[in-house]
Structure 1
């Protein structure tokens, strides 16, 4: 018997990602993950509760690094009321940082305290001001239209080119939170080429995370881990370069395969194509390849700002000569405070070039910061979870328990065990440089007893951090990016799980073979 075809309303709802209407008289219940903010608040409460169950403890520190074998139990010098207050202050502490109970010193994580997300928070707002101001000049729409017109029939080539650049950026200079500014530019472009918002997440988030996972000379990942392990940054670079090619290729193929399916059949989009998406795509003018001289100047300034950001971030002396090398005279070593100032200044410059004056320019800057405020708040909530763990003094306890798992292991099992040990630690300490400083001095010497090189520990660390960074809700890159892309966390996790499984299996195989060779 022929089944009746679905109504246009049903098909539209399916494309938009909405559940199919339930039959009359029957209500369908469908499980759905809560929104990003609810997930982070719930995780904060769970981690806070674990602070009363998991024993508090610390390692002794020498130059900010834990001393193997020095772990000891301590008491948390705080009343129950103080700890309840700590729970409710988690977002505030996530923004400003936390004071170490023992030293009374507020500073970097390596000094015994935990920095807040204020730098990233303000950076995201500045990025918003910069992008929205640039967009209001009309140059971005003209540029996107030009690219969309030229690559109308070669959308996959655009995805490949973008992911190659982003992956290389992650591998060489740690491109991560900086990619949050890319979504506002790439989403209209990719929608106009027939793709969806998940494609943009794949290009930006997956590209940067896999690049960091297969880091070659990234000073914030490989540099910090190699330095803490007591080896040169170049040791093991051959294996990591191979991982970059293999894992980067797998990630690009995964995103391209999905995006091509969506372009052929929009109903296969896991997030749907909403009316807002269709309107945004239709707003991209693909009928003209002409840009005015003023628009070309704006686009040049826009691209030059991001290029200068790359130059300012990279500690060139360490990349060339290894950790501990003295800085070059022209090396800037900028970080989020300087980058925030850069993007705010350039927002004003671009606004003036685009003939914005007075209230129009100020309003554009404020509107941009306002549009990115949601993503900035997500970052603060995610950092608050780490602060709660730090205040409860249970981070070192978890590390000490995991340290015992790899002691005495040898051969091919050692690299896999080091990977597994770093997985829960990567969730608890989302900062790659912070985790490297914490874990590497403890785990790296164990490689000597296992008869393998310490560079294998660094590679296992990177693989673990990378796979966890694809999905962890404590990461600013994940939660902030999904918020900007308007992609639900639950749908993203289900979409990326097959790629995550491939990367885990590939990491295991690589680490076992590297340990045996």
Structure 2
């Protein structure tokens, strides 16, 4: 009797394994907290929340910051550059343990879904829009036209998409917004002769490399530099150079894999799913009977494309977030439904069907958030930061840089929010650079590289939600991405050493 082949667990199972692991850590790692400082702009005071939960009000002045050992200009608080609570150096205290038990683990996904409802609704509305647009034939006609235009030069799809998303990543931290791109681009990449993994890599790595080597990203470079007590322009040149080279490394890696797949589909890491994926994304695409690319269909695609341009404008200049982005795509759905002359009942059915296709992805996002809640409620993140800061005191500068990068890789797993990690860690770790004779911009770069690198694979980030779109298992992604992760990790160390010692 032949043995049944074991398959790798689904994204949900992987997340629950990580969830249980996080809960176990709350029994092992001591609980502790730093005192947190937050500025009240209305009263012009600082509010200090101590580890025991008590609060204290202090004058909102530079003198207060100096006394607390926080080397940040008061103007950064006054103008809203730093708006989240920041950790106060030297205030770490052990607190009563709050281990997360079975009930906490079971409730975490539910609470995670509740706390992620904004992005979940965003994903569902995107799914509804794709469902409506798919039914009009505009996608099929557009794919056929694009395939003819890029005949023999399909690799340009990878170069253009990766580069454009990387621009969004380095300028305003484009991440969650990319969820909207996959349902549109995967059919394009498959029609071009590639597999879905190529599309995922182009978009996800464009975003990841962009945010990893952020230049003017207010949620990473700017807020981290402010919290470190320096201007974001310090170290900016090196990060910009790193952004260009890292993008080239990523694009070359993806193109090489893509060319192998195009030459022989059997080289695809997800070849066993080829028919399943094509059925899902090209089920209405018949190469022999492609819908005519009429003016009406062109107009629909133009409006659809403009929606993304408007979204990027809104997020980067108008402080838009998920409510505004979701409203935008709902409006576009209605406009396209009107242009297509679709009947009301057909429109609703198509929209609901499209949203249903992304329910799994939406739930994955919520469950991933549940892991963060377990870690937060277990009160161990500050402890990890405290012992990490003690580890590097008095180290040799070269070893110091490498260890700091590794520390941020670990912290990036526990605290996937770029701004959250910045305000917690920078006031504690940035001063350590002074003790080994290095500039503080090194710490900012190490923070970005470390958190960015772990984002390639961390289950607490967006990767499992992304893979869930095409039912690609986590092990296939790891097999694909680990070599590239090694290349960019080694490159990051080189860039940090150059930034430190070539002045």
TM-score normalized by structure 1? 0.84
Counterpart of 1:62 in 2: which secondary structure?
strand
TM-score normalized by structure 2? 0.86
1:157 and 2:132 correspond: no
Corresponding residue of 1:49? 24
Corresponding residue of 1:58? 33
1:91 and 2:77 correspond: no
Corresponding residue of 2:236? 237
Any conservation in 1 of the 2:195–2:274 contact (CA below 8 Å)?
Answer: no
Counterpart of 2:469 in 1: which secondary structure?
helix
Q: Tell me the CA shift for residue 489 of structure 1.
A: 0.6
- Stretch moving more, 255-264 or 234-243: 234-243
Corresponding residue of 1:99? none
Counterpart of 1:343 in 2: which secondary structure?
helix
**Which string of whole-angstrom CA distances, capped at 9 and with x for unpartnered residues, describes residues 146-167 of structure 1?**
1111112111112111111111
Q: Tell me the CA shift for residue 250 of structure 1.
A: 0.3
1:171 and 2:157 correspond: no
Any conservation in 2 of the 1:94–1:381 contact (CA below 8 Å)?
Answer: yes
Q: Tell me the CA shift for residue 226 of structure 1.
A: 1.6
Any conservation in 2 of the 1:56–1:397 contact (CA below 8 Å)?
Answer: yes
Corresponding residue of 1:37? 12
Any conservation in 1 of the 2:162–2:203 contact (CA below 8 Å)?
Answer: yes
**Which string of whole-angstrom CA distances, capped at 9 and with x for unpartnered residues, describes residues 63-107 of structure 1?**
11001111101114x6x8x843221110122123xxxxxxxxxxx
The aligned length equals: 453
Please tell me the root mean square deviation across aligned C-alpha atoms, in Å. 1.9
Say if 1:142 and 1:268 are closer, same or farther in 2 by CA, change over 3 A.
same
Corresponding residue of 1:9? none
Say if 1:506 and 1:28 are closer, same or farther in 2 by CA, change over 3 A.
farther
Any conservation in 1 of the 2:213–2:449 contact (CA below 8 Å)?
Answer: yes
Q: Tell me the CA shift for residue 30 of structure 1.
A: 5.5
Any conservation in 2 of the 1:171–1:215 contact (CA below 8 Å)?
Answer: yes
1:509 and 2:494 correspond: yes
Counterpart of 2:27 in 1: which secondary structure?
coil
Whole-angstrom CA distance in 1 between matches of 2:391 and 2:133: 52
Q: Tell me the CA shift for residue 333 of structure 1.
A: 0.4
Corresponding residue of 2:428? 442
Any conservation in 2 of the 1:312–1:334 contact (CA below 8 Å)?
Answer: yes
1:500 and 2:485 correspond: yes
Any conservation in 2 of the 1:146–1:288 contact (CA below 8 Å)?
Answer: no
Q: Tell me the CA shift for residue 492 of structure 1.
A: 0.6
Counterpart of 1:205 in 2: which secondary structure?
helix
Corresponding residue of 2:259? 260
Corresponding residue of 2:314? 312
Any conservation in 1 of the 2:235–2:442 contact (CA below 8 Å)?
Answer: yes
Corresponding residue of 2:294? 292
Instruction: Please list every run of at least 4 consecutive aligned residues from structure 1 whose deviation after the TM superposition is greater than 3 angstroms.
Output: 27-32, 276-282, 284-290
- Stretch moving more, 374-383 or 123-132: 123-132
Match among 457, 461, 466 for residue 481 of structure 1:
466
- Stretch moving more, 235-244 or 289-298: 289-298
- The unaligned stretches of length 5 or more in structure 1 are 1-24, 97-115, 316-331
Whole-angstrom CA distance in 1 between matches of 2:93 and 2:239: 35
- The unaligned stretches of length 5 or more in structure 2 are 39-84
Q: Tell me the CA shift for residue 32 of structure 1.
A: 4.2
